[in-house]
Structure 1
């Protein structure tokens, strides 16, 4: 089996796309789709074993992948990593700023160290990666950047550190889109809602019931798929989005629109099979998170 992308074959032929957090979840899926569409994918993360596993999958599927261990929070490490990719691959056409993470905690229990760690992963790291891709290649040649944020519209209770960082990344996206436009660089963001991704399995077991119940708060009545998120990312990197910059594309089934006073009515089984709302899952290697199968 191969990746069943909705985009035309060879769309990114000859291009190089950097994907941070490429060893699992949405990053892994996006790397597979970009590789299936002809890009050489540079996978970046902190776990060499995970990166090599994904690179092996891509090679088995006929694609091309490079790997580089890098802590995106470390400025010098990011600088060296991007320089190495330019040296080995000769160019960087696209960046998917996907690396990040958070933990469940109310604001009053978050320490300064915990706050700083989450902000560094979800905001500072993305800034450093984008800045170095711009400095070392895109300023002279153009390119496209997609920053991954989150469904933080209206607040992120029990994840206030992440919500603040993601909101900051939206502002960074808008500013970079303006400052770098003259160099032919487009900068956008994708905001995933409740996506059935391997990241769900990183939360503690006691979070399981809450995670499984989240689909009931989505107007479309289900979790999103990794492939649906990847498709949004690929669109924003593609020529079809050549006049889109400084924007955020939500992939959330209208979750932020849920309001008190409006009755929650998710699609029934028959309606859920209609093409307009049926789940798209083009990723042939996707697996259901363990927590959702319990």
Structure 2
């Protein structure tokens, strides 16, 4: 088996991409798709075991990958990591700013440390990575950056720290797209909604019970798949998106549109998922659902 991408198999032949948070979830899936399309993929993550495992998967599938351990919240670590990747691969064509993390909590229960940790992970880290790839190479060679945000358009109750950080990243995307356009750099973002990914299994039991009901609030009446996010990221990185910059794409099955109280959602099974990821694994929390 190999990745069943909808794109041309040599789309990124000879090109190099960084994928932060490449050791799991959407980052892992995207790294596999890029590698299947001929790219050299530099996996970046905080835990060596995770990125090394995904590197081994890609090599086993016939792709090219390297692994770097980096805490994107630390400026000097980001600078050194980008420099090492450029030295190893000789250049850089794109970055998927995917690394992130948060914990469920009402605002009143988030202390300063928890708030600042999530902001640093989901906003500051993405800024540092984007700035460094620009300053260390893309300011001369051009390229494409895709930031991963979230469905935070109506606020993010229960995860206000993450919502604030993601909204900041959306605004950063627009600013960077304007400031860096003169160097031939495009900056976009994707905002996944509820995606069936391994991260769902990391939440506490109460949150997992909520996760099992989420598809009922999606007009397409299902959760998204990692490959459905990866394909959008891949297109934004490609030359087919050469005139798209400063935009954020919602990948949420229309869940962020309208008001279900005013327009109840009929149940159906008419939405057919696309899953080209040959190594995809259904989260445990969803395995008992039909």
TM range (shorter): over 0.9
CA displacement, residues 74-131 of structure 1 (integer Å, 9 cap, x when unaligned): 0000000000000110011100000001100000110000000000000000000000
CA displacement, residues 181-224 of structure 1 (integer Å, 9 cap, x when unaligned): 00000000000000000011110122111001001100000000
Kindly tell me the number of residue pairs found equivalent between the two proteins.
287
Q: What pairs up with 1:64-213 in 2 under 5 angstroms?
A: 64-213=64-213
- Aligned-partner Cα distance in 1 for 2:262–2:10: 48
CA displacement, residues 236-284 of structure 1 (integer Å, 9 cap, x when unaligned): 0011100000000110000011403112114x23xx2xxxx31000000
TM-score, with structure 1 as normaliser: 0.97
Q: What pairs up with 1:34-49 in 2 under 5 angstroms?
A: 34-49=34-49
DSSP-derived class of the 2:66 partner: strand
DSSP-derived class of the 1:256 partner: coil
Tell me if 1:293 matches 2:287: yes
- Aligned-partner Cα distance in 1 for 2:266–2:175: 38
Partner residue of 1:281 out of 259, 275, 280: 275
- Aligned-partner Cα distance in 2 for 1:176–1:18: 18
When the two chains are superposed, the root-mean-square deviation of aligned CA atoms in Å is 0.7
Q: Structure 1 segments of 4 or more deviating over 4 A?
A: none
Counterpart of 1:61 in structure 2 is 61
Question: Are the aligned partners of 1:46 and 1:69 in contact in 2 as well (CA < 8 Å)?
Answer: yes
TM-score, with structure 2 as normaliser: 0.98
DSSP-derived class of the 2:196 partner: coil
- Aligned-partner Cα distance in 2 for 1:94–1:185: 9
Question: Are the aligned partners of 1:224 and 1:252 in contact in 2 as well (CA < 8 Å)?
Answer: yes
- Aligned-partner Cα distance in 2 for 1:208–1:12: 38
Q: Which runs of 5+ in 2 are unaligned?
A: none
Question: Are the aligned partners of 1:219 and 1:258 in contact in 2 as well (CA < 8 Å)?
Answer: no
